Amino acid sequence: MKLSRFSMSVEPYAAGEQPRGKRFVKLNTNENPYPPAPECAKAIKSFDADRLKLYPGIAARELREAIAEKENVGVDCVFVGNGSDEVLSLAFRALFDPHGEPVVFPSVTYSFYPVFCSMYGINTATVENEADFTVAVEKLTDGQGAVIANPNAPTSLPIDLDDIETLLSRMGERPVIVDEAYIDFARRTRSAVPLLKRYDNLVVVKTFSKSYSLAGIRCGYMIAGPETVAALERVRDCFNSYPVDSLCQAVCTAAIKATGYHEASVQKVVETRTRVMKILRTAGYEVLESDTNFLLVSGGERDYLKLKDRGVLVRWFSAERVRGYTRVSVGSDEEMDVYLRALLK
Ligand code: PMP
């Protein structure tokens, strides 16, 4: 059968391996080692399967209200989607024009951004990260919009909120997407959401996959001005009007209300991160100071292969600037001990 030129030539995003069979300690996709809040299990148990005969509420009202309350914004500032990857994809489509000025992002950042752009015919320009991998955000201003991940991935490094504010003000009306997938693990930067009061070119994207331990349910959200939310709703309705199913809405509503559990689970990951970072540095590895639930550790492909051979999966990227490192998700203390033994023996 003849297939489209696009599907034959596109270079899709490569997600981390999902092994079947052999049991690995899985530290390659930045999942949370702890279970979601007990309230999520309760929400599943009390969910009436009869509801599944109907389409889910298109407005996801209860979930959006719970997010709005947590983020201290109006409910018309919240857009939800099937994972933050989908939210980002719709945001790229809704905010940026194809074949025009480039959208600008750092050269070392989340590798899905160029994929969205190539899918939609959006031109891109990248700005080299500094020698220490930090992002000089003032260099991102020469395009139709800018995209940053804060903290950045896979570097694990934070971006200062003052620098983000400078970027927002220099960009004027042009959109700035701040991808905050890992923000809850950050201790040296904060969420940009409060800046929305002063900058309506700001778009913040978050996820339930990491700090809420809900990677399997697929839910992410955007906080932005009501007109931006309405634009994403129009674009969403050109793909799929119901990306967030009823069960997902119930589970994520329960998760976001369980604030005490969320904070405690994040704190455990942060403490393990600090412990493992110290051990690795003492053993002579270079480890970037992390504000996320993963560590960028010197070593590269050899360590990736050695660890895989010893039953531990980490992520290795072949891109030039990061090929000398592995990205290691922060698992439970027990998992990290297995990792350390496998790496150091
Ligand atoms: N942004 C960044 C920076 C990420 O690392 C990820 C996870 N791969 C995502 C967004 C997407 O997460 P999800 O689609 O699970 O919400």
* Any atom of ligand 1 within 6 Å of the Cβ of 84: yes
**In angstroms, rounded to a whole number, what is the distance separating the alpha carbons of residues 221 and 191?**
14
**DSSP structural state of residue 129:** P
Q: How confident is the model at residue 208 (pLDDT cuts 50, 70, 90)?
A: very high
Q: How many CB atoms lie within 10 A of CB 125?
A: 14
Higher pLDDT, 87 or 22: 87
pLDDT band at 104 (very low <50, low <70, confident <90, very high): very high
CA–centroid distance, 255 to ligand 1, in Å, is 18
19: pLDDT strictly greater than 90: no
pLDDT at 242: 96
Residue 212 Cβ inside 6 Å of ligand 1? The answer reads no
CA 53 to ligand 1 center in whole angstroms: 30
Distance 2 CA to ligand 1 centre (A): 33
Mean pLDDT, to the nearest integer, of 164-175? 98
Q: What is the pLDDT of residue 345?
A: 85
Whether residue 33 has its Cβ less than 6 Å from ligand 1: no
Structure tokens at 182: 């890992």
pLDDT at 136 (0 to 100) = 96
Alpha-carbon gap, residue 115 to 144, rounded angstroms? 17
Count Cβ atoms within 10 A of the Cβ of residue 259 and give its class: 0-12 exposed, 13-18 middle, 19 or more buried: exposed
Per-residue pLDDT tens digits for 286-312: 999 999 999 999 999 999 999 999 999
For the question of whether the overall pTM of this predicted structure is more than 0.85, the answer is yes
pLDDT band at 17 (very low <50, low <70, confident <90, very high): confident
Q: What is the mean pLDDT of residues 244-273?
A: 98
Report whether residue 103 contacts ligand 1, using a CB cutoff of 6 Å. no
The DSSP line for 316-336 is: ---SGGGTTEEEEE---HHHH
**Mean pLDDT over the full length of the chain:** 97
- Residue 255 confidence (pLDDT) above 80: yes
**pLDDT surpasses 80 at 140:** yes
Give the mean pLDDT of 254-266: 97
Instruction: Convert the pLDDT of each residue in 29-81 to its tens digit.
Output: 999 999 999 999 999 999 999 999 999 988 999 999 999 999 999 999 999 99
**Angle, in degrees to the nearest 10, between helices 333-344 and 301-309:** 110
Backbone angles phi, psi at 313, to 5 degrees: -100, 120
Nearest CA to ligand 1 atom 1: 181
Rounded to an integer, what distance in angstroms lies between the CA atom of residue 12 and that of residue 118? Answer: 9
Confidence tier at 117 by pLDDT (50, 70, 90): very high
Model pLDDT, residue 336: 98
Task: Among 18, 209, 248, name the best residue to mutate to test ligand 1's pocket (greatest count of ligand atoms within 8 A of Cβ).
Answer: 209
Which atom of ligand 1 is nearest the CA belonging to 88? 10
pLDDT at site 206? 98
Q: Is 181 in the pocket of ligand 1 (CB under 6 A)?
A: yes
β-strand partners of 148? 178
Residue 18 pLDDT grade (very low, low, confident, very high; cuts 50, 70, 90): confident
Could you tell me if the CB of 293 is within 6 A of ligand 1? no
Q: What is the per-residue pLDDT across 147-160, written as a single tens digit (0 to 9) for each?
A: 999 999 999 999 99
Instruction: Name the pLDDT band for 16 (thresholds 50, 70, 90).
Output: confident
Q: Please tell me the predicted confidence (pLDDT) of residue 296.
A: 98
pLDDT (0 to 100) of residue 268 = 98
C-beta of residue 308 within 8 angstroms of C-beta of residue 325: no
Q: Which residue has the tokens 């490569």?
A: 14
Ligand 1 centroid to Cα of residue 336, in Å, is: 22
Whether the CB of 211 sits within 6 Å of ligand 1: no
Ligand 1 centroid distance, CA of 310 (Å)? 27
State residue 22's pLDDT score.
Answer: 72
The burial class, CB within 10 Å (0-12 / 13-18 / 19+), for 50 is exposed
Which residue carries 């700090």 as its tokens? 211
Give the per-residue SS3 of 217-272: CCCEEEECCHHHHHHHHHHHHHHCCCCCCHHHHHHHHHHHHCHHHHHHHHHHHHHH
- The answer to whether the CB of 114 is under 6 A from ligand 1 is no
